[in-house]
Structure 1
């Protein structure tokens, strides 16, 4: 890389937790960052789930380099053992951090393309020596261009939720029923949103923490004076087992374990019915405005008023098309990282330490970090992203020893999944690979049967 190129900034796409942490680590290494944020404020995506409480504590949500940058301003870290909402995280940490970065953060800047200067995807000559060119649109619709020595894409996956259709494509009729479908956990403290679900029947599609949260919220609504008659139909593509509701009391993130227990309580308490082995094929509108979900096996579920689709997210790669990325064909995560985070492979809740080596691509000096680095894998934690950007900043500064000295220990879920059975309806009854046996089947309304498993 030429001396002229090294004088250019490192462009960071996204002013969320990972993007702002990347900027802090770059500054700590005397490298100039420039953060491009599509929204009007820091943590724009986080603010869209401001009402949802995280299952990570404050102590796990503040990056060390960011804290160092904030310290001279008199910023005080919230009590580390408390759990913030998304709104708390944005207002009390992300926005103050962005404010310290000042003009290094540009708001209303939506990136539309990244390439090498004068080199499209197929040109090899002197490719690695050319700076990156980044195109973006400002909020007023004007197009802009700037140059960078490296690009760190921390834009996340929030803007591209996965559909209800089990094939990965929108189910037939899903787009036509968009006014009855949301891909977000509803904020039931908002009177307008509350009225939409109170006393109604709602289908919740998904099996992760977001689905647990939605079920718990709807169960609380059903028990309130204004929510009588509220009922949820919980739709799972696989069967129910001891791992369906997460790690429970065995989860090293207690709040995450509590989410699963709350979802189980919603089912046991009669506020939700579980439909298993159901793979949505068609969304049908009735003449009276209700929605009927039809499975690939021909099953037709009872009509519902609303549908909450919480089937995960996927990365938006559209503006990176001129770059040579090395992505796993299934997860759309960096090739070297994918085997370490693959939810189809059995894991007892740990992720192998990873940094710049696992995040590198054939295109030198471009990195996907944070939630986007995990592609379609759902198990990302903020502390993972902070360690990723620390390693990358060290590498860009030429401190390769620090870049490769990656230390990361993630809390265990307390449960084991089955290898290759992640989305199979019969997964609950089959034996998984890896270090543990498959969890025992779970009977709703009863305590979980003890799983026969070895140590992890």
Structure 2
């Protein structure tokens, strides 16, 4: 018996965990299907993770960032759709679209509510008997530490990966000394409009570890700071043996802002504003004379560093789902049916096949990972993908399996890769936030610096 066939369970709400763009879109699609969502957000407002990188500008324009069902929910309120061709910052995405959408959902959204556990009611992971007849129990904790339990019909996990950045260590584990020197190591492109952050890097030497677009964003931010603050220096630390396609697709990239970012970074390196260290796999972080030192597994050292920015990608946190029977790929930590479609060794953002509820489900019926969380460690996610995911999931939960299976989506190509030739050498295939179209931490999208326009070279 499926969970939909239990009358008591079917009357319960569907939990959506996370109020980022994909979580809120999921709630909108559920409402259109006549299903009742309850949306749980750990932060004090909608899109808390997006706000954390609010200074960064997205590669996608507004036309690609508004979910259709969400727009239909917003329009009767007098909401004004932002100009389609503009490229918003994370802060604009949150304030002009995501928070208004959460406001329309009203009391269905519960802020300051952290989900700490989930299970089939009365049954731990190993119990088979009657499992599919039971609702799910979510364990939650509010900002005051008060714990509660909530029974729901299904769970849509849209929590993303922003809170779980990959460490500096090239083996996927923290480098020795990484935690000890954590006061001088960050995992987000710096917002130098903030005087305190600008002071941290001005006239200082900062290493940026990673090869993705988040790393390029950070490097260009530091290069811009160097124009006003002499002595500001940036060191680009790459695990791969050569820069290769780390600059992206350039003029052939179908996301023009992303291509322009790579071209600007290439120019900055050529002009000597960014020092490049290649084939460097960090093993230790040390201190010498009050400054940081990165030590590679081959003994090489990058010395005299004041700060390190680790932008080596992100990973999903499944700790609160330990009692659920998730079916995850052993490499990507993505749903096992989805993993072959998003493998960064084979696919770019634009070559990912359309997918929906069928690929996102698990042995535990009624549980779906969506958005960036669904991609596990793969760095190729775009918001448009997530919107189509939740449309399909909502249809499946409503019992409209024909609509759930009818998944169609056309995505922009990166202009960088489209097959096994993604990496410059075998060792480069180790994740460093790279891939062919790496997404930054939070963003569910690759992000760039500055606003692209016909009259500007910024992106």
**Cα shift readout 1:321-376 (whole Å, capped 9, x = no counterpart):** 00000000000000010111111225583110100010010000100000000001
Where in structure 2 are the equivalents of 1:228-267 lying within 5 Å?
Answer: 228-267=230-269
**Cα shift readout 1:280-325 (whole Å, capped 9, x = no counterpart):** 0000011x32111000111111321110000010001000000000
- Larger deviation, residues 264-273 vs 344-353: 344-353
- Name the SS of the counterpart of 1:416 in structure 2: coil
Where in structure 2 are the equivalents of 1:232-311 lying within 5 Å?
Answer: 232-286=234-288, 288-311=289-312
Q: Do 1:280 and 1:295's aligned partners in 2 also have CA atoms closer than 8 Å? A: yes
Q: Which residue of 2 aligns with 1:124?
A: 128
- Name the SS of the counterpart of 1:344 in structure 2: coil
Q: CA deviation at 1:185?
A: 0.6
Q: Do 1:211 and 1:310's aligned partners in 2 also have CA atoms closer than 8 Å? A: yes
Q: Do 1:348 and 1:414's aligned partners in 2 also have CA atoms closer than 8 Å? A: no
Q: CA deviation at 1:258?
A: 1.2
Q: CA deviation at 1:419?
A: 2.9
Q: CA deviation at 1:423?
A: 8.4
Where in structure 2 are the equivalents of 1:307-322 lying within 5 Å?
Answer: 307-322=308-323
Match of 1:154 among 135, 139, 158: 158
Distance of 2:33 and 2:188 partners within structure 1: 38
Q: Which residue of 2 aligns with 1:354?
A: 355
Instruction: Determine if the alignment matches structure 1 residue 34 to structure 2 residue 34.
Output: no
Instruction: Determine if the alignment matches structure 1 residue 179 to structure 2 residue 180.
Output: no
- Aligned positions, number: 425
Distance of 1:251 and 1:363 partners within structure 2: 39
Q: Which residue of 1 aligns with 2:331?
A: 330
Where in structure 2 are the equivalents of 1:37-436 lying within 5 Å?
Answer: 37-224=41-228, 227-286=229-288, 288-345=289-346, 347=348, 349-416=350-417, 419=420, 422=423, 424=425
Q: CA deviation at 1:240?
A: 2.7
Q: Do 1:418 and 1:427's aligned partners in 2 also have CA atoms closer than 8 Å? A: no
Q: Which residue of 2 aligns with 1:13?
A: 17
Q: Which residue of 2 aligns with 1:22?
A: 26
Distance of 2:233 and 2:255 partners within structure 1: 29
Distance of 2:196 and 2:419 partners within structure 1: 41
Given the two structures, how large is their TM-score scaled by the length of structure 1?
0.91
Distance of 1:42 and 1:257 partners within structure 2: 30
- Name the SS of the counterpart of 2:305 in structure 1: coil
- Name the SS of the counterpart of 1:160 in structure 2: coil
RCO higher in structure (CA 8 A, sep ≥6): 2
Q: Which residue of 2 aligns with 1:453?
A: none
Structure 1: 5+ residue stretches without partners: 429-456
Distance of 2:139 and 2:258 partners within structure 1: 39
Pair 1:425–1:295, CA change in 2 (3 A): farther
Q: Do 1:204 and 1:308's aligned partners in 2 also have CA atoms closer than 8 Å? A: yes
Q: Do 2:285 and 2:293's aligned partners in 1 also have CA atoms closer than 8 Å? A: yes
Distance of 2:349 and 2:14 partners within structure 1: 36
Distance of 2:313 and 2:47 partners within structure 1: 19
Given the two structures, how large is their TM-score scaled by the length of structure 2?
0.90
Q: CA deviation at 1:269?
A: 1.7
Pair 1:140–1:80, CA change in 2 (3 A): same
Pair 1:199–1:115, CA change in 2 (3 A): same
Q: Do 2:348 and 2:413's aligned partners in 1 also have CA atoms closer than 8 Å? A: no
- Larger deviation, residues 338-347 vs 381-390: 338-347
Distance of 1:426 and 1:101 partners within structure 2: 47
Distance of 1:417 and 1:229 partners within structure 2: 40
- Name the SS of the counterpart of 1:125 in structure 2: coil
